[in-house]
Each structure stands twice: as C-alpha cells, then as structure tokens.
Chain A
Amino acid sequence: MSAADLLTAAPSREPTRHSTVTRVVIYGLLLFFALVYLVPLVVMVMTSLKPLDEVTGGNMFALPQKLTFDPWVQAWGEARIGVSDTAGIAGYFWNSIKMVVPAVLISTLLGALNGYVLTKWRFPGHKLVFGMMLFACFIPFQSVIIPMAVILGYLGEFGNTLTDLTGFSFGFGNATENLVIVHVVYGLGFTTLFFRNYYEAFPTELVKAAMIDGASFFQIFRRILLPNSAPIFIVTVIYQFTNIWNDFLFGSTFAAGDQSPMTVALNNLVNTSTGIVEYNVNMAAAIIAAAPTLLVYIVGGRYFVRGLMAGAVKG
C-alpha cells in the first residue's frame, strides 16, 4: 500500500524558469542509464539471430547480416544439455513451469492465510510467531541445504513406502515436487511478511461486520479479504515467481539430470566443455530462460500500483 501511496501522491509538476534545463538533464540521464541497461539485452537478441560464423567473425554490436531463427530452434529442441540425452531446453523449461506455478500459488495462498490470522485472528504469542517467520527471510540459502536434504530424504523414503503399499508414490521423492516443497517453505517467510503488512492496514471493521453477518473463518478470508488483496497478491506473485524461477542453488542441489529446472539446464548448456561454443544458441536459450519473468512483470506490473481498496471505508 505504501508504495502505491507514494506513486499516486507524486508532487505536482509546476513549470519554473529552470525547468527546461533541469528536465533535459534529468531525461538525458534517464535515457543514458536506460541505454546502458538495455545494451546487454540488445546484444543477446542480435547474437541469437545471427549464424555462428557471423558471431565468431564479426562485431558484437553489428546488426545480423543474415537473419536466422535456427539458434532458437536449436536451443529449444536440439541442443545437447550437459551429458543428458534430452535434446534442447524445452523439457527443462516445462520442469521449471511445473515447479514454479504450484510453488508460487501455494506459498502465496499460505502467506495470505498467515497474514490473515496474524492480523485479524490474533492469538497470544502472535508477535513471536511473526518474528520467527520474519527470521526465515534472513536465513541464507546455503544453511538450509543440508537439513532440507535430510528432510527430502525422509520424504523420499515415505514415497517408497507408499509405492510398496499402493503402487503409487503420490509424488513423494519426485525432484520437481521436492523443489516445490523447498520453495514453498523458503518463500513462506516473505509471503507472510507481505500479506501481514497489507492486512495490518485492512479495516478490521470489515471482518467484524462479516462475523456478525455470519461468515465463517474461511468465508471471511475468501469473500472479504482475498477479493480486496489484488495489489499485494500481484506483488507477491511477481516476487515469488522471479525468485523461484531464477533459483539455481536449490535446483542444482535437489534435482539432477532430466529433472533439473531451466536455470540448471542453461548452465549445463553454456558450460559445456566439448566442441565449439555456440554463442547464438546460448543467447537464445538465455532469452527463453528469462522470458517468463519478463512476461510476469509486463502483465502484472500494470496492477502493481492500483489501489483497489479505494472507498472501502470512510468518506
């Protein structure tokens, strides 16, 4: 909410004598930094559209002489990733999708539920619980790895037991599901923090009114809180999506081979030590790897600052 307030409450721009000069300087600087920021992306896109001989023989900033989409096709479906037999990054891309979508949705919904309980259904010790969840945000990734591996090991054993009993593991021990669990647990601290702070400002009278109207705990959550949480929901989804999609450490630790997520596959493709380095294919793969986060920002960014709570209470 505070970010939205700041943006909507931009100071009025009143033209002054110095305004033209100031504005040229400001926009000039902004333009310069935007260009600096965009150069890598432009080079990546151009390189990915050139044939390999043009890349190795020519200038990095030169426009493609002969436009080709072959590197993209190769990166998606043909390139050899590490020592794996799977061709292209397509399979890994779907691994990442299968990991990110449930992990983001589960962690966001649980975070919303936590925020709801920590603000509207306070219990003795709620501050301590929130403090501990907040602490989760500061735990470095590396320190989680070994305990997490142990827990995932137990879950894998449990999956084996289930397979023996029922013939089906219910996903326990599956690398993608393991990563979903890891990311949900690790992300919960952040999502809880976001939603708690948002719901802290959410009018409690609405909850009381719904209680008197006869709505239950979950009905209040689903009918009153969630429909009014769009801004923070989108913020959380963008944050979680970016973090989980871009994660490399957990992906490379808890998943191997064909079950690796996109980031690990990209590393394996680029770090290949045999044959020539196909920069154009690497660049295409890197852009494909970055595309989903870019898309989430473009789609979600518009809703980022919309204050949907306007008019909820007071005049």
Chain B
Amino acid sequence: MAFLEINGLRKRFGSLEILKGINLTLDKGGFLVLVGPSGCGKSTLLNTIAGLESITSGEIRIDGDVINDLHPSKRDIAMVFQSYALYPNMSVAQNMAFGMEMRGVPKPERDKAVAEVAKTLQIEHLLNRRPSQLSGGQRQRVAMGRALVRQPRVFLFDEPLSNLDAKLRVDMRIEIKRLHHQTATTIVYVTHDQIEAMTLATRIAVLKDGELQQVGSPYEVYNSPANLFVADFMGSPAMNLIEAKVSRANGATSIVVERPNASKISLPAPSSADETKLRDGGAVILGIRPEAVSDPESADRNSKNIATFNSLVDLVEPAGSDTFVVTTIAGKEVTARMRADADVRPGQSVAFAFNLDKAVLFDPASTKRI
C-alpha cells in the first residue's frame, strides 16, 4: 500500500471548484512534484495535505491513517514555505526547536536534535542569529532545517526556491536532491518550474484547472506526455507540435505534413503511436522534442526512424552548449537543437533530421496521445 494516498479529493470555494477529484499515491521515500501553471490548484492541494485548507470531499491517508479532519499539527507533517516563514523574533535555533517546544519535548532533547540537523545542513554557525541577519540561501536552509528536525512522516515544500536568484536556485535544487537521497524522506513538492520538477521528482503530477493531467516518472511525463497540455508544459524549449494528416497506403502508415510554399513532407508513423487508431485522412498533431530535430550529422545513430528534409531557417539562437534553430513548418514554429558550432544563418535552407522514434502523435479533437 502506498504511503501517501489521495482519493477523489475535491475542494470547492463557494461555487468555484478548485480541485476536481484528485487521485494520487506516493510510496515511502518518494519525491512527488506537483507541477502546473499558476492557479491550477497545486498549492491548494498541498495545503489540503497540510491541513491548512479543509477539503470538500475525498480522503487523504498517510501510512494508512485517514488524516482528513486532523489539525495540521496532528498530521505529522512539516512544511517549507515559499517565503520561508521564519519567526523573526526568534533565533535560528529557537526557530528550529519551536515545533518540538510546542509538543513538550524536553530542552536537552531539542538541543540535540537541532544540533544534529544543523550539522547536516551546515548551519551550525548560524544557530544564534536572527532570520533578518541571514542571506536568502541561509534562510532557505534554516527553513528546511526546521522541517527536518522533527522527523515528520511527510515533508511538504511550497515553491521553496522561487525567491532565490537563478544560480542559488540551482545550488539549492542539488542540495534538496542530495538531502532526499541521504535521509530517504517522503516529499511532496510544489513548483511551477518544470525543470525543478524533472530534476527532483521520482514522480511528477501535472495539474491544470484542478484536474490531474498525468502522473508518472519524469521519463514518462517527458517522453510520453498524456496530452497536448503536458507535452507543451514540460520541457524547455517546448515540444514542437505540428498539424499533420494520416495517410495509409499499401499497408504502410505515414504522416503527411502539408507546406504552403514547399513540397509536402511524408514521415513514417512514430513507433510510439497505436497504428490501429490511425485512420486514413484523419487529422493528427505530431509532437517532437527539439532535441529529436537536428542536423543530419548529429542525429541519433541508433534510431531506425529518421526523416530528413530541407526548410528555411527563421532564427538562430546560440545557447552555448547547443544552437537552437527555428524554422516554420505548416505555419507552426519548429525548434531544432543543433550542434553548438553548426554553421547556420537565418534565410538559409538547411536539412532537418526528424527522429521519429522520439515523436508522439496526438488527437487534435480530444488532445490525448494516440
């Protein structure tokens, strides 16, 4: 049985339904990332697990116990807030010990637990300082320390890195990942940053408008997105989505992309698609990640399914490690990832290699993957 279980959870504010029947499970020691655009209900979902918001219907279980109506302090959870929420009138040590103090843990025990966690997080030298005397990264560590010190069953993180600058954010991301490895804690983490989600999670749940779009490992969510929303949301630059038509002839299925000012492109059907669902002449949307579109020289040699054709280059974005080349196919911008030293200029006609092993097809009507 899963450690954290959410069954049919609904949350309504008046007539507005924020969470529309969420079902989620997480194993002990797992790292679940709730990701989605602003207002998708991910923070509300986290708050319902914390008990800071009541739920309209459904069930939340931790380790088999239903915790729906328990006070936040009785749920054996700890939360790291976006603003860190350190008590400004207390020292770092007092901040960390406050939860234990409220639970009546004797002082020597509190001091011992604080010292241990401070050592893990390398904040021993900060214990007597006030939050106002700490830098952003240090506050972040203290906030995590305050959560860790009580050894709760589940940790909740509410966009903990969004107040840090870009470099520190990457450092702290690695820190959190390392901490998760070391302590094997169960974590639910909310973010709107899909890179954080990919790098940290053992399990990603993508939310939109209060509904789960897909739950799975980062690999599954990235490579086999359940629908167009997930395909577009996860990954940066975003997945290329090209309108196309199915053509079935002589037992072979191909995907045809019409181009207004150039010859049409005929591509073999991606291996991921269920061919029985493809109907001759039916409209589909071809989804292909920028890294699966490249110059022919750097295309994946292990792929059995590469199609090459020429197209005019609109824009070249050198990113240091790679060069992103933007072209227009069937009215849609398509981004390709090429070698860093690829000699490509806007206006040139360049060969693009599509790796169709890595492509997916979507039904434009239902937006689901085929």
The CB with the most chain A CB atoms within 10 A, among B52, B78, B134, B164, is that of: B52
CB of B139 within 8 A of CB of A212, answer: no
B292 interface residue (CB < 8 Å to A): no
The distance in angstroms between the C-alpha atoms of A315 and B81, with both chains bound, is: 13
Bound-state CA distance A215–B98 (Å) is 9
Verify A224–B50 contact, CB threshold 8 A. no
Are the C-beta atoms of A215 and B131 separated by less than 8 Å? no
B83 with A313: CB separation less than 8 A: yes
Chain B interface residue count, Cβ-Cβ cutoff 8 angstroms: 33
What is the distance, in angstroms, from B136's C-beta to the closest C-beta of chain A? 3
Contact of B79 among A209, A214, A310, A315 (CB under 8 A): A209
Given the known inter-chain contacts A214-B102, A227-B89, please indicate yes or no for A315 contacting B82, CB distance below 8 A: no
In whole angstroms, what is the CA distance A209 to B85 when docked?
7
User: Which residues between 59 and 99 of chain B lie within 8 Å of chain A, taking CB atoms?
Assistant: 71-73, 77-79, 81-89, 98-99
B83, A213: Cβ atoms closer than 8 Å: no
CB atoms of B163 and A228 under 8 A apart: no
Which residues 204-219 in A have Cβ within 8 Å of B in the complex?
A: 205-206, 208-215, 219
Query: Is B78 a contact partner of A315 (Cβ separation < 8 A)?
Result: no
- The distance in angstroms between the C-alpha atoms of A223 and B163, with both chains bound, is 26
If A211-B73, A213-B99 touch, whether A311 touches B88 (CB-CB below 8 Å) is yes
Residues of B within 8 A of A314 (CB): 83-84, 136, 163
Looking at chain B's contact residues, the main secondary structure is loop
With A203-B83, A208-B52, A308-B88 in contact, is A315–B139 under 8 Å at CB? yes
Q: How far is the CA of A205 from the CA of B163 in the complex (A)?
A: 15
Interface residues of B in 130-156 (CB under 8 A from A): 130-136, 139, 146
Confirm or deny: B181 has a beta carbon within 8 angstroms of a beta carbon on chain A: no
Q: Would A315 and B130 count as touching, CB distance under 8 A?
A: no
Instruction: Tell me if A312 counts as interface (CB < 8 A to partner B).
Output: yes
B98 contact from A213, A311, A315, Cβ within 8 A: A213
Within 8 A of B (CB), among A165-218: 203, 205-206, 208-215
Contact B130 A311 (CB under 8 A): yes
Contacts of B304 in A (CB 8 A): none
Q: Is the CB of A315 within 8 A of B99?
A: no
Q: Is A309 an interface residue (CB 8 A)?
A: yes
User: What chain A residues lie within 8 Å of B84 (beta carbons)?
Assistant: 313-314
B103 at the interface (CB under 8 A from A): yes
**Contact: A311 with B133, CB < 8 Å?**
yes
**For B163, what are the chain A residues with a Cβ–Cβ distance below 8 Å?**
314-315
Among A205, A213, A311, contact of B131 (Cβ-Cβ < 8 Å): A311
How many angstroms between the C-alpha atoms of A308 and B131 in the bound complex? 12
- Given the complex, which residues of B lie within 8 Å of A203, measured CB to CB? 83, 85
Interface string of A286-315 (1 = CB under 8 A from B): 000000000000000000000011111111
B87 → A minimal CB distance (Å):
6
Rounded to whole angstroms, the CA-CA distance of A310 and B88 in the bound complex is 8
Residues of chain B contacted by A308 (CB below 8 angstroms): 88
Contacts of A228 in B (CB 8 A): 88-89
Nearest CB of A to B178, in Å: 22
Q: Are B103 and A214 in contact (CB under 8 A)?
A: yes
A17 smallest CB distance to B (angstroms): 41
Closest to B137 in A: A315
Question: Are A214 and B73 in touch, CB under 8 angstroms?
Answer: yes
Instruction: Give A112 Cβ to nearest chain B Cβ, in Å.
Output: 15
Contact of A212 among B73, B132, B133, B136 (CB under 8 A): B73
Complex Cα gap A203–B131 (Å): 14
Specify which chain A residues have a CB less than 8 angstroms from the CB of B52 in the assembled complex.
208, 211-212
CB proximity of B170 to chain A, nearest CB, Å: 16
Nearest CB in chain B to that of A310: its residue: B132
Cβ-defined contact, A205 with B83, below 8 A: yes
Question: In the bound complex, do residue A212 and residue B86 qualify as a contact, i.e. CB atoms below 8 Å apart?
Answer: no
Q: Which of B255-269 contact A (CB under 8 A)?
A: none
A45 CB, min distance to chain B CBs, angstroms: 42
By beta carbon, the residue of chain B nearest A230 is B89
Contact B102 A312 (CB under 8 A): no
25 A-B Cβ contacts within 8 A?
A205-B82, A205-B85, A211-B73, A212-B50, A212-B73, A212-B77, A212-B78, A212-B99, A214-B73, A215-B98, A215-B102, A224-B89, A228-B88, A308-B88, A309-B88, A311-B88, A311-B132, A311-B133, A312-B88, A312-B132, A313-B86, A314-B83, A314-B136, A315-B139, A315-B164
**B residues lining the A interface (CB < 8 Å):** 50-52, 71-73, 77-79, 81-89, 98-99, 102-103, 130-136, 139, 146, 163-164
Known: A212-B52, A212-B79. 11 other contacts (CB 8 A): A205-B85, A206-B85, A208-B81, A209-B87, A210-B87, A211-B73, A213-B102, A219-B102, A228-B88, A311-B131, A315-B163
